[in-house]
Amino acid sequence: MNLSMKDIANALNVSKTTVSWVLAGQGDRRKISLSTQEKILAYARKVNYQPNLLARSLTNGSSNTLGLVIPSIDDEFYAHIAREVEMEAEKYSYSLTFCSSETDPKRESRIIRMLKSKRVDGLIIAPTKHSREELDILVEEKYPFVLIDRYFPELDTNYIILDNEGSSHQLVTRLVRDGRKKIALITSDTHLLVMNLRRDGYRRALSEAGLPAIPALYGEVKRGEYVTDIIRVLDGIFTEVPDVDGFYFSTHYLAMEALRYFYRHGMDITEKIGLACLHTVSSFEILAPRMYIAEQPIREIGRQAVQILVNELKSADREKTKMVLPAVMNFNE
């Protein structure tokens, strides 16, 4: 199959070293004669020489590869992130190996170990709830990594997250300004810190507006079976608070299922019910054009994540970067 440097060296009666220099573009610096250089270059091109990156990485102790670990590539949000990260990594001539944990902590651990074993130079991780142990190890080993989307405040790591509390607050406040008085919160995955922050923002907005926090307006959906469970939750809210006039969804897939529900029940989600959601998917624009949306700054997250990693790889032991990014709103003030 593929020829190696040795093959080229033998064929041309030069040494492996010379071939290596030339192919690495160091011919001039090493003062290899032009004739030799050209001979090597020509031959390499002719036989379509491709370096064995495994060998190179082994020698160099670095694979020029970044690893991305996300809960699920099926999720539009993470798919976008993956894209941005890949593009940005390419700018620094890193390639990307991506794996999805399927929100299974065991899988996640396995993946992280595997990526380390493959000697990826750094990791970008959107951690699941139970990632702590594995992250502890990374911290201890000083393995370069940056968390995105979720984080652990007690851990001194790089992270880039959304201003969850603030965005929530803005969204709910916007509903309040429309005169909504009975705004339900639909949420899930409440063991996640970010979800609590979103709830906090919701509560703060209500209390600042002098609105009561009605327990019946709190809808918690079981993750995993959210497609069916949200029906139970919404049914419950409409029975107990028939004049509910607003919904704030803590994440996009909840909004999606709720929209399905509203459409099935022929409900008026333009006048009678105000909607807001943190995160978005492209179809919301059509399905619920008047829904207030706080979007994740996906491009920014992807870019920063790569840059933080690249910087850390250049000079280890720098301060950890902790970024809290504002959301991008589809409305004013």
Partner DNA sequence: CTGAAAGCGCTAACAC
Partner DNA sequence: GTGTTAGCGCTTTCAG
Residues of the shown chain interacting with DNA in the complex, contacts defined by CB under 7 A? 4-6, 13-18, 20-21, 23-24, 30-33, 36, 51-52, 55-56, 58-61
145, 157 contact by CB (below 8 A): yes
Task: Pick from 3, 4, 20, 86 the residue near its own copies by CB under 8 A.
Answer: 86
Residues 244-263 that bind its own copies (CB under 8 A): 256, 259-260, 263
| Minimum separation from the CB atom of position 41 to its own copies (A) | 17
- In eight-state DSSP terms, residue 64 is S
Q: Answer yes or no whether residue 237 interacts with its own copies by CB under 8 A.
A: no
DSSP E strands, the chain: 65-70, 95-100, 122-125, 145-148, 158-162, 183-188, 218-221, 246-249, 274-278, 292-295, 322-325, 328-329
SS3 294: strand
Q: Answer yes or no whether residue 286 interacts with its own copies by CB under 8 A.
A: yes
- Residues 6 or more apart whose CB falls under 8 angstroms from that of 30 comprise 21
Please give the C-alpha separations between residue 150 and each of 87, 142, 230, 242, 313, in angstroms, as whole numbers: 22, 20, 24, 35, 22
Q: Which long-range contacts (CB under 8 A, 24 or more apart) does 313-316 make?
A: 313/121, 313/122, 313/144, 316/142, 316/144
Task: Pick from 4, 36, 57, 321 the residue near its own copies by CB under 8 A.
Answer: 57
Please give the angle made by the CA atoms of 136, 140 and 143, to the nearest 5 degrees: 95
Indicate the residue among 60 and 283 with the shorter CB distance to DNA. 60
Residue 21 interacts with, from its own copies, DNA, none (CB under 5-8 Å by kind): DNA
| Minimum separation from the CB atom of position 39 to DNA (A) | 9
| Minimum separation from the CB atom of position 310 to its own copies (A) | 18
| Minimum separation from the CB atom of position 75 to its own copies (A) | 8
| Minimum separation from the CB atom of position 219 to its own copies (A) | 20
Q: Answer yes or no whether residue 109 interacts with its own copies by CB under 8 A.
A: no
| Minimum separation from the CB atom of position 314 to its own copies (A) | 18
Each residue of 71-92: b (16+ CB within 10 Å) or e? beeebbbbebbbebbbebbeee
Task: Pick from 30, 91, 106, 118 the residue near its own copies by CB under 8 A.
Answer: 118
Which parts of this chain interact with its own copies (CB under 8 A)? 1-2, 48, 50-55, 57-58, 63, 72-74, 76, 79-80, 82-83, 86-87, 95-100, 102, 113-114, 116-119, 137, 141-142, 256, 259-260, 263, 281-283, 285-287
